[in-house]
Amino acid sequence: MKRLLLAAASGGLFGLGLMVSGMTNPAKVQGWLDFLGDWDPTLAFVLGGAILPMFLAWRYAEGRRPALGGSFPAKPDPVIDRNLVLGSAMFGVGWGLAGLCPGPAMASIGYGNPHVWLFVASMIAGMAVTPWTRRKLDALPAKG
Amino acid sequence: MYMDWVYGLVGGLMIGGAAALFLLGNGRIMGASGLIGGVVDGSGRGNLGERLAFLGGLVGAPLIAVLLRGGPPETELTGNAAALVAAGLLVGIGTRLANGCTSGHGVCGISRLSLRGIVATAVYLAAGAVSLYVFRHMLGAV
The number of folded domains in chain A is: 1
Residue A119 lies in a domain: yes
Residue B104 lies in a domain: yes
Cβ–Cβ gap A122/B110 under 8 Å = no
Which residue blocks in chain A are alpha helix, DSSP H?
2-21, 26-33, 42-61, 82-98, 102-107, 114-139
Cβ–Cβ gap A36/B133 under 8 Å = yes
Cα separation of B77 and A113, whole Å? Answer: 9
**Residue among A71, A95, A135 with most chain B CBs within 10 A, to mutate:** A95
Which tens digits make up the pLDDT trace of A53-81?
999 999 999 999 999 999 999 999 999 99
Q: Report pLDDT for B142.
A: 80
Which tens digits make up the pLDDT trace of A16-43?
999 999 999 999 999 999 998 889 999 9
Is the predicted pLDDT of residue A7 greater than 80, yes or no?
yes
How many of the other CB atoms lie within 10 Å of CB of B137? 11
Cβ atoms B53, A11 nearer than 8 A: yes
Burial class of residue B130 in the structure, from the number of CB atoms within 10 Å of its CB (0-12 exposed, 13-18 middle, 19+ buried): middle
**Residue among B7, B40, B55, B58 with most chain A CBs within 10 A, to mutate:** B58
* Mean pLDDT, chain B cut into blocks of 10 residues (142 residues total): 88 98 98 98 95 98 97 96 98 98 97 97 98 93 80
Q: Report pLDDT for B27.
A: 97
- Expressed as residue numbers, the domain containing A102 is 2-139
ipTM associated with this complex:
0.96
Nearest neighbour of A45 by CB, restricted to B5, B99, B135: B5
Q: Report pLDDT for B2.
A: 66
Residue A144 lies in a domain: no
A125-137: average pLDDT: 96
Which tens digits make up the pLDDT trace of A105-125?
999 999 999 999 999 999 999
- Expressed as residue numbers, the domain containing B121 is 77-142
Cα separation of B88 and A19, whole Å? Answer: 20
Where does the pLDDT of residue A141 fall: very low under 50, low under 70, confident under 90, or very high at 90 and above? confident
Q: Report pLDDT for B35.
A: 98
Residue B56 lies in a domain: no
Q: Report pLDDT for B141.
A: 81
Residue B128 lies in a domain: yes
The number of folded domains in chain B is: 1
Q: Report pLDDT for B1.
A: 56
